[in-house]
Structure 1
């Protein structure tokens, strides 16, 4: 009964909300993002190499977005590290390094990093390459308007005489990067500026935008501005908000205006961050519905920090058991799945974590994930398999020793004989009555599918 009530609530929420999710993010978005392995210094050939890998090895199980993360308009020479993202201001008020920007105050890809952008082509050629692989293309953007556009008094496209300095909120600043000012959405021309950048992105062929410095603190007027601009450009584009923690109290607003939003700050390859993410997820339990997904952040598996941003170049510091836990929780909770490592350097084990179609189905087809219990370092989450009476169950051992984890079938609404399948092993375990138990490694996880007989 509790499950049926939850499903009804989710269905009513989905029906009642008018949002861009009518045609995008109907399931949690899946793809690759350049940040965890390249920071601000990714180059076009590296984006293409990762896109090629996804097309060859992962597209068939649902991975599709290729996202260029932050500072693509900032010049990082080949082989450089993440660099200092701060601009310096010269005596005349101008900025160095000067970000690549058009006459309308709209940032464009830096041609030294993205050679196909030469001649004002922007991300169009790279997006076309990604689309040619049968994938979708995305970019990271900082909220607001470039400070250099404000200094230059760049005209706002689609207005009569309004310039960037007239719509900027110069008191609204990102605490960790000085490239942008916020927008005063009450000012004439502010929405038109956002409309103009989304028109540009649509012209390039962008399918996904991750807007940074928007969720902490949460800026309702600017979130709405990006949502309206996406509707204005008339191209289906996923709207992702970053970073967290996004306030839980903004749930209703998020369900009207965004497709995914970060639950926490940047997630990295540290065991305590996995257990912390589970606590954040519990706060958002029951919120994720078609088109709107609380986001656990990117998957920290594979080759990380090749050129920043955190720590030395390395393969993930997670143990194999911890990587199973990482992938299992992101899947059962139905978080968006964005790979953060440099995919061409994956080893067979990493690939096996990403191309298991049965595990991906838990993320893409599970319904109403929720926690069954958490006690003594043991926790269980479960969800319903879409279109059937089958259930997905994830067993997690958060403790420091192997532990036996058990649960009754009645506790998840199942009765009679139950066939149990281990999805990571791709093996049928057997048929059981009343309950199931299994020993789980330290920091490990087991992901099961239960089918009533």
Structure 2
């Protein structure tokens, strides 16, 4: 009995030690790059590597780390082809054309014509190794469920003897905008085994981030839990991001228990009206973010976009310079994940300034409990607390179409006496002020401040 008790104590000790030393996943909002906004489905391996090299050389030092290959990497886009959506024309015809690259277990694998290093069944392992060698992390996008062609082929499910794909698919569960997957009936024997086999494959490739699409709206709770369980058992820490929005707010507790990032809205693009609407979405989800679970404003629409689709012509972001600063400022004060959408090697000095300001990025990574202070008369203020100090970050926004004065009352933030004010974008101390601070801001512009009560500046 004593020996048994000792063994149990040792097992408990090692389990606790393992839990304490296991790397935290998304303890702060993930920062990285995703291929969708500039390449759609038509991204090729050499372009992924070019963006990874740029990140390693210019952005890694500021905390940017994830390199994510977005959708349809198992589909053959010939070099130079544009995205479109090859599935949109025949959503309901039951067709399995175009054919996707898939292994014998019904798991999609990279198309070797787009990702040459995947030849010979290597999958994404060589590309992940390349990204890891740069000191970065690697991620992929997947569609919820199981390929229809696996169901048609009755592919066996790895780890579930006697179970085939047609036995676990919910053929009534279909994506409304892409016709190559069925949902999984998680109540069926073998459904969880399929997801487990999928995530173990990704872990073997070296995947650090998985974005699951067509799962947040409509909300597929059982499949979300299935992916979460599969990640927990795959042997490798991974960020779990779900999309698209609008994710139901009533699922906030379930989300925090199962995923690391969830989209608040549908795809966000470089459109001022969408930016205004995002403020409303963010207010609804206020207070739900925290270590390990973050409401996601979607990718940053900054830089060279839509080189091969998916929305509009190839262009640099249509946001004005003031709107770009508002865009980046809000994502930071709100502590949204920061996922770049533009083609990084084509960054101009403007993009470099937006992505490499350590003081601004600290607001995203070190702020706590972001809240809206007020929204009135086409002006708005959000704030957060700097962890471990009495300092406060404050973001002032002019939402109107003309220059306007925006003010912040220190009493509303429980700050007394002289308050030191620092402009984080300009990296300049503006002085010490009593009671309030106000500043004239350009149309659609923003100001990001650090407020400190222990500042020694004497200006009133």
Please state which band the TM-score falls in when normalised by the shorter chain.
over 0.9
CA contact (8 A) 1:88 1:95 kept: no
Deviates further, 408-417 or 221-230: 408-417
For residue 63 of structure 2, what is the aligned residue in structure 1? 62
1:13-38 deviation line (CA, Å, top 9, x unaligned): xxxxx9xx972000000000000000
Matched, 1:101 2:102: yes
CA contact (8 A) 2:34 2:67 kept: yes
Matched, 1:257 2:236: no
* SS of equivalent to 1:149: helix
CA separation in 2, counterparts of 1:426 and 1:88?
51
CA separation in 2, counterparts of 1:55 and 1:226?
30
CA contact (8 A) 1:94 1:151 kept: no
Matched, 1:307 2:308: yes
* SS of equivalent to 1:341: coil
Higher relative contact order (CA 8 A, sep 6+): 1
* SS of equivalent to 2:51: helix
Off by >3 Å, runs of 4+ in structure 1: none
CA separation in 1, counterparts of 2:174 and 2:337?
28
1:83 Cα deviation from its structure 2 partner: 3.6
CA contact (8 A) 2:249 2:285 kept: yes
Gaps in structure 1 of 5+ consecutive residues: 1-17
CA contact (8 A) 1:76 1:83 kept: no
1:97 Cα deviation from its structure 2 partner: 1.8
CA separation in 1, counterparts of 2:248 and 2:119?
41
Matched, 1:122 2:143: no
CA separation in 2, counterparts of 1:323 and 1:87?
32
* SS of equivalent to 2:237: coil
CA separation in 1, counterparts of 2:275 and 2:401?
14
TM-score, with structure 2 as normaliser: 0.92
* SS of equivalent to 1:234: coil
CA separation in 2, counterparts of 1:247 and 1:76?
34
For residue 391 of structure 2, what is the aligned residue in structure 1? 390
* Superposed counterparts of 1:166-315, under 5 Å: 166-315=167-316
Change (3 A) 1:170 1:447: same
Change (3 A) 1:113 1:65: same
Matched, 1:339 2:310: no
Root mean square deviation of aligned Cα: 1.4
CA separation in 2, counterparts of 1:363 and 1:265?
22
For residue 8 of structure 2, what is the aligned residue in structure 1? none
* SS of equivalent to 2:233: helix
1:323 Cα deviation from its structure 2 partner: 0.1
1:96 Cα deviation from its structure 2 partner: 2.0
For residue 156 of structure 1, what is the aligned residue in structure 2? 157
Deviates further, 64-73 or 75-84: 75-84
For residue 444 of structure 1, what is the aligned residue in structure 2? 445
CA contact (8 A) 1:22 1:291 kept: no
CA separation in 2, counterparts of 1:337 and 1:84?
26
For residue 78 of structure 1, what is the aligned residue in structure 2? 79
Number of residue-to-residue matches in the alignment: 432
Gaps in structure 2 of 5+ consecutive residues: 1-18, 455-460
CA separation in 1, counterparts of 2:57 and 2:409?
41
For residue 10 of structure 1, what is the aligned residue in structure 2? none
* SS of equivalent to 2:171: strand
CA contact (8 A) 1:366 1:384 kept: yes
CA separation in 2, counterparts of 1:133 and 1:349?
25
1:413 Cα deviation from its structure 2 partner: 1.5
